[in-house]
Amino acid sequence: MKYPLILVMFLLGGTFLIAQDAHFSQYNASRIYTNPAFAGTDSTLVLSKAYRLQWPNINGAYRTFYISADQYVRFLRGGLGFTYLNDNAGGGALITNAIEINYAPHFEFFDHKMVIQPAIGFGYIQKKLDWSKLTFGDMIDARRGFTSNSNEIPSSSNKSNMDISAGLLIYTTRFYGGIAAHHLTQPDEGFLGPSQLPRKITVHAGANLNFKNFLFSPNILIMKQKMFQMVLPGITAKYKWAVLALSYRNGDAFIINPGFQNRFLKIGYSYDFTTSKLTNEITGGTHELQLTWFLHYQKKINSIKTLRLI
């Protein structure tokens, strides 16, 4: 069976079809993908890895793989970050590879009680389209279905672009919040005609609140990319090494996220239970696994603040 995915057609060019970025339910685990200004906010080298399987019951499910690394660098007085993302849509019909390098200078205010980190990111995006997995109208007979090859002439199957992002993060020992803007140059991703990748604006905030042996973190993320808008409020609770998070993505899914976190390792699994008209029975929900390692643990020099998310 061919993959008549609308997502693939988004990148063929047109006046109303718009591409969108991959996203993660555990956005605090893939933090520098959410906002490049998170680079270097922890007290150690942070390595992260994620895998997301979206809607496995639908033919051509979305599969996303992500890795990142970031650390505070003393002589640069800020954080450096690196991200790599591979997104597979339509069983290989459309494959996206993206890398980005971030720098986030570190500034402290109010007697070292508040930190402000702006950030800049420089990236490279490559998209590959497998024409053999696309369906065109001239391949379909009204009575017999798929009967012949298409007369459509394949254009280029690869599209590459440079990309720029920016971010801002403000945090104290208890509260944090920030804003990020991705695809500032709106690179052209069209294969048959012009098709700009829309800018993505992300606003997020949260808190780390201690109550005896419990740590609570209410948080919210708001994301907008052209016609797509996501509001994701949630709350995370941690007791010793056990973590449990609950959140709801507007009109789309209820998310449960159990996990484990200690001084050196964080493991999180989340399941998105579809609440839209697609229904969970049709989509099969979404599975996501996040792994984070905190290496070479050491306190930052002098008064430099550390922010660790749960």
At residue 83, the pLDDT reads 98
- Residue 122 CB neighbour total at 10 angstroms: 14
What does the pLDDT profile of the chain (310 residues) look like in tens digits?
334 444 444 444 444 445 678 999 999 999 999 999 999 998 789 999 999 999 999 887 889 999 999 999 988 999 999 999 999 987 888 899 999 999 999 999 988 889 999 999 999 999 998 877 766 666 666 566 565 666 666 566 888 999 999 999 999 989 999 999 999 999 988 877 788 899 999 999 999 999 888 999 999 999 999 889 999 999 999 999 999 999 999 989 999 999 999 989 999 999 999 999 888 998 899 999 999 999 865 555 555 678 888 8
Distance CA 226, CA 249 (A): 18
Predicted TM-score (pTM) above 0.95: no
Q: Quick one: which of 199, 231, 229 has its CA closest to 27? A: 231
pLDDT on residue 189: 86
Single-letter amino acid code for the residue at 48: S
User: Tokens representing 2?
Assistant: 């061919």
Give the separation between CA 145 and CA 111, rounded to whole angstroms. 72
Burial class (CB in 10 A: 0-12, 13-18, 19+), 210: exposed
CA distance 11 to 9: 5
Closest CA to 306 of 67, 297, 47, 110: 297
